[in-house]
């Protein structure tokens, strides 16, 4: 399970983590931004290694964005109790790689537990494709990240505002029928005038 992610981390990034660390691997391919920088993916491995992936084009278009990304990553690493942080930038441009390595060396607050990797986009695409095909072979579904339901103002088809939204939108007419026939205890029917 998650062998494609493990192969990427070991063979591409050069991680020498012991085998037991790979018993827990969480790959997220649509994470929120960190340090104001949109990420391509995150990987959390065994509570010890955190990997933040970002497209080289993102860092190129937002000059000076590497330092805030690294600072935010260090904060998450330390806050969540990880040992190491690896920043993975996908780029096929050797010139951008040289610029990023020089910028990384100037980032304040660096320690020996933060690493920068610039990898070709095809290596990441290969890992993601293998991960997905392995999931399909095992009959697994992708991880779903749910968000709270948000009320959207609508002009119809309901009447009376939010308190009647489900009743009118989802057709719970049987509840209205039960109320009018007096079948629902504690609920007034239309002809019930008592208070």
| Claim to verify: residue 80 and residue 174 sit in the same structural domain | no
Has residue 164 got a pLDDT over 60? no
| Claim to verify: residue 161 and residue 183 sit in the same structural domain | yes
| Claim to verify: residue 103 and residue 48 sit in the same structural domain | yes
Q: 134: pLDDT confidence band, cut at 50, 70 and 90?
A: low
String of b and e for 131-142 (b: at least 16 CB within 10 Å)? beeebeeeeeee
| Claim to verify: residue 30 and residue 124 sit in the same structural domain | yes
Q: Which residue has the tokens 């399970």?
A: 1
| Claim to verify: residue 153 and residue 133 sit in the same structural domain | no
| pLDDT single digits (tens) 27-70 | 998 888 998 899 999 999 999 999 999 999 999 988 889 999 99
Structural domain includes residue 58? yes
- pLDDT on residue 63: 82
Number of domains in the chain: 2
CA distance readout (Å), 167 to 42, 129, 155, 160, 174: 41, 44, 15, 10, 10
Has residue 132 got a pLDDT over 50? yes
pTM over the 0.95 mark: no
| Claim to verify: residue 132 and residue 153 sit in the same structural domain | no
Structural domain includes residue 131? yes
Structural domain includes residue 142? no
User: Which of 48-52, 139-143, 173-177, 183-187 is the most confident on average?
Assistant: 48-52
Using DSSP's 3-state secondary structure scheme, residue 4 falls into helix
| Claim to verify: residue 27 and residue 101 sit in the same structural domain | yes
User: Residue 125 CA to chain centroid, in angstroms?
Assistant: 17
Tell me which residue range forms the domain holding 169.
147-190
Beta bridge partners of 85: 50, 114
Structural domain includes residue 57? yes
| pLDDT single digits (tens) 77-127 | 999 999 999 999 999 999 999 999 999 999 998 999 999 999 999 998 898
| Claim to verify: residue 124 and residue 166 sit in the same structural domain | no
Residue 67 burial (C-beta neighbours within 10 Å; 0-12, 13-18, 19+): middle
């Amino acid at each position: 399970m998650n062998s494609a992610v493990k192969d990427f981390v070991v063979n591409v990034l050069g991680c020498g983590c012991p085998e037991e660390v790979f018993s827990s691997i969480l790959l997220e391919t649509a994470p929120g931004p960190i340090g104001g920088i949109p990420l391509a993916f995150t990987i959390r491995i065994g509570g010890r290694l955190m990997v933040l992936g970002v497209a080289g084009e993102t860092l190129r278009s937002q000059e000076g964005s590497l330092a805030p990304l690294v600072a935010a990553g260090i904060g998450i690493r330390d806050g969540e109790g990880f040992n190491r942080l690896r920043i993975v930038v996908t780029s096929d441009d050797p010139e951008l790689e040289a610029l990023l390595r020089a910028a990384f060396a100037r980032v304040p607050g660096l320690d020996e537990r933060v690493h920068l990797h610039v990898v070709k986009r095809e290596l990441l695409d290969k890992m993601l494709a293998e991960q997905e095909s392995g999931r399909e072979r095992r009959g697994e579904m992708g991880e779903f990240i749910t968000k709270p339901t948000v009320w959207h103002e609508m002009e119809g088809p309901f009447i009376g505002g939010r308190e009647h939204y489900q009743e009118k939108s989802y057709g719970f007419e049987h509840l209205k029928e039960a109320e009018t026939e007096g079948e629902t205890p504690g609920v007034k029917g239309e002809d019930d005038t008592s208070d």
